[in-house]
Structures are given as structure tokens and as C-alpha cells.
């Protein structure tokens, strides 16, 4: 018995040694693994200084089968690349031609060994399901039952059935201090507030995932409670937040409040322990147009479920058109929290999401409304914004969501010129991304530019992946598909930090996200399926970081909200990317 224990310890120590990847040396790869027929790359990293010059000396790598230590592949490492985003240098191990299935490791003689990884079909299924299920764990006002939530079951918090109209939100119909009910929806992030602007892009991305891959999602099971039994899980999950968003619209005039929030952030407590007053705060143009876009898209998606949800589609369309007309009379009402706090009490110091440019929201809302209704005025609005530049989607930048929807439903909007313009713009963006891949030490689109590394950088990786998939679907060129997969691999571990950034996935993932339930529940493992923000040299949280360069500035600490928080607008593009790649393996694409 004693012998067994010490042997175990021995192996434990060895594996600790081999697996320790907190430093900036070692082998970085997708910790979930690889599809048998897809490209396969791992990256050996080291520092630029001569003292850790192992990269100069090593040339050969081996892929070893975990079960019997057989060498199944031997290859030569690429020449050294210097990173543009840190002082790291890398060499690539390409083993794309290995298509045997199983569990393997990569070793480089005299250096190191990788985490174990799998080669198999559906290899990203766990991340795909977990990233969607994560939204269930974010549900406000609901008890999470053990049958669905397992060890993360918890009591309901934030009922939000008596929410105060903040003085900034007063109207003829709702006086200051009036009480309204706006229950449910998803908590935004590591905090317990609910913000329409951020919900907008998250919902648009999830609804688009469904519209693009209907047959795949129709059968995808995530073990969540159904609001409605006969609709797919993803639509049940979206519905939970949709009903909340609709309740944030003032039915009297169509304007939408920016958020349902505390005056200040809750401490690191469980939802049911939170006692602060909740407010709906100031209506705004971005929030109202985001609701218009989401409700218009939801109106056409849920129309197919008229039997199960008889009034939903009509209510959504009504809400969307009412929001649109409110926005027409308030075309540029910025949410400026500092200015608001000069005027009203209590001061609100939770997240701002203070977008100042609205052309992209106008375009997105017009696109969704036009696709759903076919009305001429919405098409005119689309055309009036066609000369504007829209960047990669993020909470203040939603224009491309309109492009994606217009492309998806091209038959219906019947405008070849519009279609051609959108296609060529997206192809140009994707080509620019791909041009940078060979100069990036990790051979991914993510990190092609230093500016990729901002607060929520991992969402950039996922959103770039979505754009590449859109272009793959219109061109059928595999280089775009491979590049999209490369970005999922970045998220799953082929990056400078060595983390797979999705909680509960891979061998080395965040254990201490800035996420109140994960911190306060007394359970060692964080809530699974959540995407950490990722490297952000801005380090606005002023926490302790061991590494500071653009691609390394990440720390797995619950202090670090600028790199290790989680958020619904980061998880939603991960849902799209991981599920789309799973779906495309089996030709589930429904449109284009």
C-alpha cells in the first residue's frame, strides 16, 4: 500500500513537472484536440533571451500515443518566428497528415511534452455544448435545480419584480420612484446587472447561430429546463433573455431602458444574498435600436413555433417597430453615465456600455426589420448607411450582424448589388486577416494585430472566427474554414498563455474567473463553459500580473476583471464558432 502511494506521488511529481505551463515555455496546442481531417499545429514557445535558447537546438518533435507510448508521427519543427505581440519566439510543429484517432501527446526531445489531446470526430462537442449551457448558469431570478445544474445548483436571486424607475428614466407615464417588473434574463458577466446593449449583440449572435445552423441546433441537447417543450434548447435559452429584454421597453412610448441594475456592484456573494435596490436607468438610442434588431430577428425565428408560442412572434415584431419609431424621434441619445450622475441620485456606478456612434445600430436594426417585414422604409435606411465602415462585431459595433443576416436571407431581400457589396467587403476583411497569419508566431488570425488584445480579447478571436466562417460559406474556400478553426484553437490553448480559456474545458483552464457565483459558491471548480476575457495589456483592474505584454497579459485571478472576467457577449460568439465548426463537420449549414 505504502509503495503504491509513493509511486503515485512519483508520477504526480513527474506529471506536474511536465505539465507545468504557467511559465512562458512549453508546447501550446488546442487542449480539446483535433478533427481527423483538419490541419493540426502545435507551437513550441520560448523567450528571446539566449539563456533559454532551447528553441535554437531542437528540431524534431514526436507525436506519442498516450496508451502505449508508440510514436505515431515524427516531424521537423519550423524555423523560429519572433512574435510581434511579445518577446516570445516560437517554432511550429505541423502534424496535419496524422489522421489516426486516439489520445496523444507531443514531445520535443530535451525540452518538453504537451498536454494530452484527442484526435476524433466531434472533438469540440464538449466546448460547443458547455459554452451554450453557460447561459443557463447566468439566469437571473431563477433557482438552478440540481438536475440541470449539478453541483452548481443554487437558489434564485434578483427577482427584479419590483424595480424602481431611476430619476434619469422618468417619463410622462412613469414617474420617478415608480415600480416596474423586469424579471429574468441573463446576468451580464461576473456582475449581477443586466444591460440591454450587451444583451443585444449576445442575442443577435445566438439567433444568427440558430438561423445559420438550424438542423444542427434542432437536435442539440444541453440539459436545460424548457420554457416550452417542443422548441430546441438554444431557442429555449434565448427565450429566457428575450422576455426580459421585451420587459425593458416602456410600452407607452417604445423607448428601452439601458439597464436593470444596482447603484453599485454587489460584493462577491451568491445571487440570493444580494439585497441592493434595483433600478431601470435612462432610455437610450443604442439600447432601443438593439432591442429593435433582436426583436425583429426573434419575430421571424419564433414564427415557426406559433403553435407552441402563439403570440410571441407578433409581440416581438410589434416591440421592434415601436422601438424603431422611438429611435426615430431620439436618433442619437447617448448613455453618458458620468453626465447622468451629475444630475440624478442615486449615482449609478455599474457598467456603462456607453456607445456614442449609432450608424451601426441603425443599420443592424434596419436590416433585421427589413428581412422580417419586407417594408420599403427599412430598405431605404439600409441603403442610406451603405457607405459606412463597420468593424468586427463588439458591443458598440453591431453593423456586421446586419451584413450576416442580409447575406443569410439574400433571396428575400432581392438586391443583387447590395448582396455583392456585402460579400466583397466581408471577403476583403477575411483576406486581410489571413494575410497576417504567417507573420503571427502562433499562426492564427487572432493576434494578427496588436490591437486584437483589448478587454475581452477572446471575443475578438471568436468574432473573427465567425467572420471567417461567413466567408467560407459564401466562397467554399477551405483556407477560411481552417483559419476559423485556428481561432477556436487559439481559445482552446494555442496561445502564449497556455490556458484553454473556457472554464472546465481542456487540461489547464481558468479556475478563478472574476465571476461572483464561481467565487462565492464554495465549490472548487468554477461554473463550466464560461469564456474568460483573455490577454489585455490595459490591465485596468490594477491587479498583480506576472506577464504584461499584449499576448501574455492574462492572470487567472478573481481580482483581474480586465482579463479574467466572463461575459455573455464573449460567450455568444464562442457558441457560434464552436457549434458552427461542429456542424460544418457534418454539413448542417442551412442557408447561403
DSSP letter for each residue of 162-213: SEEE-GGG--SSS-TT-EE-----B--BSSS-EEHHHHHHHHHHHHHHHHHT
Minimum CB separation from ligand 9MR for residue 461, in Å? 14
Report the residue number, 116 or 352, with the smaller CB distance to ligand 9MR.
Answer: 352
Minimum CB separation from ligand 9MR for residue 196, in Å? 12
* Cβ neighbours, 10 Å, residue 328: 14
Report the residue number, 106 or 201, with the smaller CB distance to ligand 9MR.
Answer: 201
Q: Which of 588, 202, 203, 208 is nearest to 405 (CA)?
A: 208
Residues found near ligand 9MR in the complex (CB under 6 A): 188-189, 191, 351-353, 455-456, 561, 565, 567
Q: Are 129 and 39 in contact (CB under 8 A)?
A: no
Report the residue number, 152 or 353, with the smaller CB distance to ligand 9MR.
Answer: 353
Report the residue number, 188 or 212, with the smaller CB distance to ligand 9MR.
Answer: 188
Report the residue number, 455 or 576, with the smaller CB distance to ligand 9MR.
Answer: 455
| SS3 label, residue 246 | helix
Minimum CB separation from ligand 9MR for residue 533, in Å? 6
Minimum CB separation from ligand 9MR for residue 91, in Å? 34
Cα end-to-end distance, the chain, whole Å: 63
Its sign, for the CA torsion 41, 44, 48, 54, is negative
Question: CA-CA distance, 143 to 156, in Å (whole number)?
Answer: 4
In three state form, how does the secondary structure of 227-241 look?
CCCCCCHHHHHHHHH
Minimum CB separation from ligand 9MR for residue 463, in Å? 13
Cβ partners under 8 Å of residue 100, min gap 6? 36, 72, 119
Report the residue number, 409 or 458, with the smaller CB distance to ligand 9MR.
Answer: 458
Minimum CB separation from ligand 9MR for residue 307, in Å? 37
Report the residue number, 32 or 266, with the smaller CB distance to ligand 9MR.
Answer: 266
Report the residue number, 266 or 321, with the smaller CB distance to ligand 9MR.
Answer: 266
Which residues are catalytic, by number?
A: 191, 514, 556, 565
DSSP letter for each residue of 496-549: TT----BTTSSSS--SS-B-HHHHHT--SSPPTTPBB----TT-TT----S--S
Question: CA-CA distance, 395 to 399, in Å (whole number)?
Answer: 10
Q: Which residue is nearest to ligand 9MR (CB)?
A: 351
- Determine what percent of the chain falls in helix, strand and coil, rounding each to the nearest 5: 45, 15, 45
DSSP letter for each residue of 307-339: TTSTTHHHHHHHHHHHHHHHHHHSTT----HHH
Cβ partners under 8 Å of residue 294, min gap 6? 199, 200, 203, 204, 207, 242, 245, 320, 368
Minimum CB separation from ligand 9MR for residue 399, in Å? 17
Question: CA-CA distance, 565 to 534, in Å (whole number)?
Answer: 8
Residue 91, H or E segment? strand 88-94
Minimum CB separation from ligand 9MR for residue 195, in Å? 7
Question: CA-CA distance, 95 to 104, in Å (whole number)?
Answer: 12
Report the residue number, 189 or 292, with the smaller CB distance to ligand 9MR.
Answer: 189
Instruction: Return the exposure string of 394-424: e unless at least 16 CB atoms fall within 10 Å of the residue's CB, then b.
Output: bbbbbbbbbbbbbbbbbeebeeeebbeebbe
Beta-ladder partners of 43: 28, 92
Minimum CB separation from ligand 9MR for residue 569, in Å? 7
Question: CA-CA distance, 303 to 128, in Å (whole number)?
Answer: 26
Q: Are 118 and 492 in contact (CB under 8 A)?
A: no
Report the residue number, 316 or 454, with the smaller CB distance to ligand 9MR.
Answer: 454
Minimum CB separation from ligand 9MR for residue 69, in Å? 44
Burial, 524: exposed, middle or buried (Cβ in 10 Å; 0-12, 13-18, 19+)? Answer: exposed
Report the residue number, 119 or 348, with the smaller CB distance to ligand 9MR.
Answer: 348
Minimum CB separation from ligand 9MR for residue 247, in Å? 20
Amino acid at each position: 500500500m505504502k509503495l503504491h502511494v509513493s509511486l503515485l506521488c512519483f508520477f504526480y511529481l513527474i506529471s506536474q513537472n511536465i505539465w507545468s505551463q504557467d511559465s512562458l515555455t512549453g508546447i501550446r496546442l488546442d487542449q480539446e484536440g483535433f478533427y481527423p481531417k483538419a490541419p493540426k499545429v502545435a507551437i513550441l514557445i520560448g523567450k528571446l533571451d539566449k539563456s533559454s535558447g532551447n528553441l535554437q537546438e531542437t528540431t524534431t518533435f514526436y507525436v506519442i500515443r498516450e496508451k502505449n507510448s508508440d510514436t505515431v508521427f515524427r516531424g521537423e519543427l519550423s524555423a523560429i518566428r519572433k512574435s510581434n505581440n511579445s518577446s516570445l519566439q516560437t517554432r511550429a510543429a505541423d502534424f496535419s497528415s496524422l489522421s489516426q484517432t486516439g489520445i496523444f501527446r507531443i514531445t520535443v526531445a530535451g525540452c518538453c511534452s504537451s498536454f494530452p489531446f484527442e484526435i476524433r470526430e466531434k472533438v469540440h462537442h464538449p466546448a460547443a455544448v458547455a459554452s451554450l449551457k453557460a447561459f443557463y448558469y447566468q439566469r437571473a431570478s431563477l433557482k438552478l435545480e440540481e438536475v440541470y445544474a449539478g453541483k452548481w445548483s443554487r437558489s434564485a436571486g434578483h427577482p427584479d419584480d419590483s424595480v424602481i424607475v431611476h430619476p434619469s428614466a422618468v417619463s410622462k407615464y412613469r414617474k420617478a420612484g415608480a415600480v416596474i417588473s423586469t424579471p429574468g434574463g441573463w446576468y451580464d458577466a461576473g456582475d449581477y446587472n443586466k444591460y440591454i446593449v450587451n444583451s443585444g449583440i449576445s442575442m443577435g449572435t445566438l439567433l444568427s447561430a440558430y438561423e445559420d445552423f438550424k438542423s444542427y441546433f434542432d437536435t442539440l441537447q444541453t440539459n436545460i429546463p424548457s420554457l416550452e417543450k417542443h422548441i430546441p434548447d438554444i431557442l429555449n435559452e434565448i427565450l429566457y433573455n428575450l422576455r426580459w429584454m421585451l420587459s425593458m421597453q416602456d410600452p407607452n412610448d417604445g423607448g428601452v431602458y439601458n439597464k436593470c441594475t444596482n447603484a453599485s456592484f454587489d460584493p462577491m456573494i451568491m445571487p440570493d444574498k444580494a439585497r441592493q435596490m434595483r433600478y431601470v436607468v435612462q432610455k437610450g438610442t443604442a439600447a432601443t435600436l438593439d432591442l429593435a434588431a433582436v426583436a425583429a430577428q426573434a419575430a421571424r425565428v419564433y414564427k415557426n413555433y406559433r403553435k407552441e408560442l402563439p403570440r410571441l412572434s407578433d409581440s416581438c415584431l410589434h416591440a421592434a417597430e415601436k422601438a424603431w419609431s422611438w429611435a426615430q424621434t431620439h436618433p442619437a441619445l447617448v448613455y453618458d453615465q458620468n453626465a447622468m450622475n451629475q444630475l440624478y441620485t442615486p449615482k449609478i456606478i455599474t457598467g456603462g456600455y456607453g456607445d456614442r456612434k449609432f450608424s451601426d445600430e441603425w443599420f443592424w436594426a434596419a436590416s433585421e426589420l427589413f428581412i422580417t417585414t419586407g417594408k420599403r422604409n427599412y430598405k431605404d435606411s439600409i441603403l442610406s448607411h451603405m457607405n459606412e465602415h463597420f468593424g468586427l462585431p463588439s458591443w458598440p459595433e453591431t453593423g456586421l450582424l446586419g451584413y450576416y443576416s442580409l447575406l443569410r436571407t439574400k433571396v428575400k431581400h432581392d438586391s443583387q448589388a447590395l448582396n455583392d457589396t456585402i460579400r466583397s467587403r466581408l471577403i476583403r476583411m477575411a483576406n486581410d486577416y489571413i494575410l497576417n497569419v504567417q507573420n503571427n508566431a502562433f499562426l492564427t488570425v487572432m493576434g494578427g494585430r496588436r490591437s486584437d488584445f483589448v478587454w475581452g480579447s477572446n471575443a475578438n478571436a471568436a468574432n473573427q472566427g465567425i467572420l471567417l466562417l461567413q466567408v467560407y460559406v459564401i466562397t467554399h474556400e477551405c483556407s477560411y474554414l481552417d483559419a476559423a478553426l485556428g481561432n477556436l484553437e487559439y481559445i482552446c490553448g494555442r496561445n502564449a498563455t497556455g490556458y484553454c480559456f473556457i472554464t472546465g474545458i481542456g487540461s489547464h483552464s481558468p479556475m478563478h474567473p472574476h465571476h461572483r457565483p464561481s467565487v462565492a459558491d464554495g465549490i472548487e471548480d468554477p461554473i463550466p463553459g464560461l469564456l474568460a476575457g483573455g490577454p489585455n495589456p490595459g490591465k485596468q483592474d490594477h491587479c498583480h500580473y506576472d506577464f504584461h505584454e499584449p499576448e501574455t497579459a492574462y492572470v487567472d485571478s478573481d481580482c483581474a476583471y480586465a482579463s479574467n472576467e466572463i461575459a455573455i457577449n464573449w460567450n455568444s460568439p464562442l457558441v457560434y464558432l464552436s457549434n458552427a465548426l461542429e456542424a460544418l463537420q457534418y454539413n448542417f449549414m442551412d442557408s447561403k
